[in-house]
Amino acid sequence: MKFLDQAKIYVRSGDGGDGVTAFRREKYVEFGGPDGGNGGRGGDVFFEAVANLNTLIDFRYTQHFRARKGGNGAGSDRTGAAASPVIIKVPVGTQIFDDDRETLLADLDEPGKRIMLCRGGDGGFGNANYKSSTNRSPRRSDKGWPGEERWVWLRLKLIADVGLVGMPNAGKSTFLSVVSAARPKIADYPFTTLHPQLGVVRLSVAEEFVIADIPGLIEGAHEGTGLGTRFLGHVERCAVLLHLIDGSAGDVVDTWRTIRRELTEYGGGLASKPEIIALNKNDAMTPREASARRRALEKASGASVVLISAATRQGVPELLRTIQNQVTEIRNEERDNAS
């Protein structure tokens, strides 16, 4: 399945049905009169977040969504049928923006969350609605009210607990494939990851977290260099950032500072998120190199650095336990604050 995290679509709710002008004409009814019914209401347009989707690829091929018009009224004071709503299903984490791509209309961040974006038009009144003591034979009936229409942008921000960031070839895809059932592309050249990947890490029956691997960042990514920072939006909702650094590449401090600078330039609160730093590819370093680079990185970052090898799984179980404890603590705090 192809991954798509942005799409522009057109939505339109249904027009209301028309009211009618009608009169009773039964042969044995002594007093006739107006009996034109009202029109039915047009269909609404809803967006609903569902848990079994993780891409907006369907909206590349279907970009126009229109609800039906309400039924017209009829004689014998019959009201037209209301049109059925159109329910557009999107992945959890989808944000809906106005056509200017800046005004946020809705954020569907929970499964089952639903919003009505376009309300169907009300039905027009039939002439029976205008009957009064001074107007016994009204011949007025109204057209239905028009529905609403708009172009909107859909932007998907994946729901994950941990965001995996780092330079290209830091071993992020290898790490994801080792700790989860995800099978990202792995190769010995940069930018093998071209779109975000999700993996579920299960430590026990009751403990699991979702990790999101995004394409690697390079210096100048916030200006569009490489793949840019487009995919950083997918880690905005994460509780923790896991910063993976290639320990065999040389200047690990400069690498760490480059990624931190790109996170700061991007904004979105990423630079202030809790960060776990892991020095990867320990199997490709001598013990002396690993120790020296770890100390230098700890001095520059002011935080402890975990030494791992994703290929051999050295240090990986301990790192996963650290991540799980921190994710659990942060999510519990968020629930307490929400209540």
166 is in an annotated binding site: yes
311 is in an annotated binding site: yes
167 is in an annotated binding site: yes
191 is in an annotated binding site: yes
46 is in an annotated binding site: no
| Beta strand residue intervals within the chain, DSSP E | 6-12, 23-24, 33-34, 45-50, 64-66, 86-91, 94-97, 104-108, 114-118, 149-156, 162-165, 197-202, 208-213, 240-246, 275-280, 305-307
Residue 290 phi, psi dihedral angles, 5° rounding = -60, -45
281 is in an annotated binding site: yes
Do residues 117 and 12 make contact, with C-beta atoms less than 8 angstroms apart?
no
310 is in an annotated binding site: yes
215 is in an annotated binding site: yes
Compute the distance between CA of residue 211 and CA of residue 49 in angstroms, rounded to an integer: 20
64 is in an annotated binding site: no
303 is in an annotated binding site: no
280 is in an annotated binding site: yes
195 is in an annotated binding site: yes
Q: Is 36 exposed, middle or buried (0-12, 13-18, 19+ CB in 10 A)?
A: buried
Looking up tokens 């209401």, which residue turns up? 41
Strand partners, 218: none
Residue of 267, 257, 194 lying closest to 231 (CA atoms): 194
211 is in an annotated binding site: no
271 is in an annotated binding site: no
74 is in an annotated binding site: no
216 is in an annotated binding site: yes
Compute the distance between CA of residue 292 and CA of residue 56 in angstroms, rounded to an integer: 45
213 is in an annotated binding site: yes
Tokens matching residue 327:
């994710």
337 is in an annotated binding site: no
Task: Return binding residues for GTP.
Answer: 166-173, 191-195, 213-216, 280-283, 309-311
Task: Return binding residues for Mg(2+).
Answer: 173, 193
Task: Return binding residues.
Answer: 166-173, 191-195, 213-216, 280-283, 309-311
